[in-house]
Structure 1
Amino acid sequence: MKCKLFLLIPLLWSSFAPEIWSQEDEIKQVVIDLFEGMRNKDSTLMASCFVPEARLLGYNSDNDQIRITHGDDFVKRVMSMKDVYLDEQITSWDIKIDQGLASVWAGYFISVNGELSHCGVDAFQMSKMNDGWKITQIVDTRTKEGCILSDEQDIDQKLNYWHKAAATADEDVFFGAMTEEGIYIGTDASERWMRDELKEWSKKYFERESAWAFTPTSRNIKILPSGNAAYFDELLDTWMGPCRGSGVLEKIDHQWKIVHYHLAMAVPNDVIDAYLKLIKKE
């Protein structure tokens, strides 16, 4: 009987485990969508993460006060911050689930316009509704003490802000993120620019409300053993379809700067023949 019981437990666990992991992924995605909405000023995406009665409680350790905001007011506040780029990132996850209730304890840091602002813990309470998991309440702590980013986190938020600068036609921020000898390689075979050459060529684009809008969807970063150089690759959602960017950064005076960036269109393998025919026609 004992042997049969031990054999049965793994079978039961295997049948339930996929559902548990799937729910954790769904719960994480709600948080990711909320932060994506904050980055892109997408009120519809942000609002979709909350139940109508959701509220946010912020604890400030400096004055021991709690600020209470309703979900719709939070969305309006973010949307009103036109010239502010908010980039909140999760550093750790602890998720507990019981039936249709979930609790998420998540360490975070938030950068404002490319500079670290503060860090703390977000405590999310969620409920599973007919249309998926929704946030019912967020309680967060915030502090400026002990907020140290890893090099990977620092590079990640700086690259996000660099892309945002192009999307909002912020010439100073975009080119200021590159070294003077920085190189930018575009999708056309003729497009290899030094930083200042790219600046001259793109003037007409930065005179618009948006030069170009590339939204990162994933990114891999590797710090070299010296600690003063790094390389990365990323997938981007662009008007050309999915693209891949890759590049090299150097740490100069404690600041990461882009020394090389290469943008390439990601052509699916199953249409490569049609792509080659098109190129030959050109």
Structure 2
Amino acid sequence: MKKAIRWIIPLAIGLGTLASPAHAQDSKNEVLQVAQDLLDAIGKGDTAAFRSLFLPHAMIYTVREKDGQTVTASRSPFAATFRPGTVVKEEMKDHGVDVRVQGNMAQVWAPYNLWVNGTFSHCGVDVFTLLKTNEGWRIAALSYTIEKEGCEVP
């Protein structure tokens, strides 16, 4: 009996400290909201709102196929500017979005479609890596594909 108590009590204490399913869902919703806030900032051309969602040393990475070659690029989100008169609308697709949270780290995998000035441009997948700071969830890295073929456009 003493042996059983030695491991039952620590187990019970450990289980009691696990995040509740409601808390886990709240974290997922918070993380997904940051991703949506970024898309909203892009749609409004709001550079200040866009930049405020990133950590100071965050990076943005892209990958696309061009002329049969894979082309990658990277840049700081703080170098991003929006062209006056250009309206960019990016929408997460209703299916395929996956949000994972582990403590103070999270990732969002989100298929998207993008339009420029009302004309469909491309689709792809956004992958947000976020870290929870004292100010809330912030984007540490954003990676996305740019795909011109095989897009499901509503």
Matched, 1:72 2:78: yes
> Following TM superposition, by how much is the alpha carbon of 1:148 offset from its aligned partner in structure 2, in angstroms?
2.3
* Aligned residue number for residue 86 of structure 2: 84
**What is the alpha-carbon distance in structure 2 between the residues aligned to residue 56 and residue 114 of structure 1?**
24
> Following TM superposition, by how much is the alpha carbon of 1:111 offset from its aligned partner in structure 2, in angstroms?
0.6
> Following TM superposition, by how much is the alpha carbon of 1:15 offset from its aligned partner in structure 2, in angstroms?
6.2
* Aligned residue number for residue 131 of structure 2: 127
Task: Using structure 1 for the length normalisation, give the TM-score.
Answer: 0.46
* Aligned residue number for residue 60 of structure 1: 64
Aligned length: 138
**What is the alpha-carbon distance in structure 2 between the residues aligned to residue 148 and residue 30 of structure 1?**
24
**What is the alpha-carbon distance in structure 2 between the residues aligned to residue 133 and residue 49 of structure 1?**
8
The RMSD of aligned alpha carbons is 2.1
Decide which of 24, 39, 46 is 1:20's aligned counterpart. 24
Decide which of 122, 131, 153 is 1:149's aligned counterpart. 153
**What is the alpha-carbon distance in structure 2 between the residues aligned to residue 139 and residue 47 of structure 1?**
15
Q: 1:15 to 1:104 in 2, by over 3 A?
A: closer
Decide which of 40, 43, 66 is 2:44's aligned counterpart. 40
Larger Rg: 1
**What is the alpha-carbon distance in structure 1 between the residues aligned to residue 22 and residue 97 of structure 2?**
18
* Aligned residue number for residue 107 of structure 2: 103
Report which structure shows greater RCO (CA 8 Å, sep ≥6): 2
Deviations 1:47-69 (A, max 9, x none): 11101111101001223111111
The percentage of aligned residue pairs carrying the same residue is: 28
Deviations 1:170-218 (A, max 9, x none): xxxxxxxxxxxxxxxxxxxxxxxxxxxxxxxxxxxxxxxxxxxxxxxxx
**What is the alpha-carbon distance in structure 1 between the residues aligned to residue 124 and residue 47 of structure 2?**
24
1:261-272 equivalent positions in 2, closer than 5 A: none
> Larger helix proportion, structure 1 or 2?
1
SS in 2 for 1:58: strand
1:233-244 equivalent positions in 2, closer than 5 A: none
**What is the alpha-carbon distance in structure 1 between the residues aligned to residue 44 and residue 140 of structure 2?**
22
* Contact preservation (8 Å) 1:61, 1:141: no
* Contact preservation (8 Å) 1:125, 1:135: yes
> Following TM superposition, by how much is the alpha carbon of 1:44 offset from its aligned partner in structure 2, in angstroms?
2.0
Structure 1 gap segments, 5+ residues each: 1-7, 151-282
